[in-house]
Structure 1
Amino acid sequence: MASAMGSLEAVPDLGWEVTDFAVDGDNLAARLVNRGTPVKPWLGVEPTGKSFAITEFAVYRVLDGRYTHMANLHDAELLKKQLHG
């Protein structure tokens, strides 16, 4: 899993569009579309100057207004196809 800071260093124009969102007590779930143009390797894929749009699924746990856990899943195969054809 890439950290937020590591992701922004690798993909400076990284943006997230929330397409679905659910809350269950202290648990949050989201489906997002990530878009950007990598300038450094990201999710194991070398940059090519091309942009991408991939789906991410993320689950968060919140305690006292702070994130205490986050897990996410990215479609790295689609990322590879978009950047390397």
Structure 2
Amino acid sequence: MDAGGDRLLHSSNIAVIREVYDSEYSPQCFSMELEKALESRCSIIVIEPSQLGDETARWITFGNYLHKTAVISGITSIVSE
């Protein structure tokens, strides 16, 4: 990483997490870079490491499922009144 620590965050609000294995701790670095991109509220995040991308996709799918379940439960409770 460069001195600023923002080597992958661009001024256009896009983050690219590159799959560069330069140490044994690279997978943890990928996760930290994703966390940093999420915290900075990037509108587009490109994830090159396939394992991290697959894991992120699973969490997004699970979050969507929870959201739909909550909405349906709320609507059901309102209708059943």
Structure with the largest fraction of helix: 2
Bigger CA radius of gyration? 2
Calculate the TM-score normalised by the size of structure 2.
0.22
Structure with the largest fraction of strand: 1
Q: Which has the higher contact order (CA 8 A, sep 6+)?
A: 2
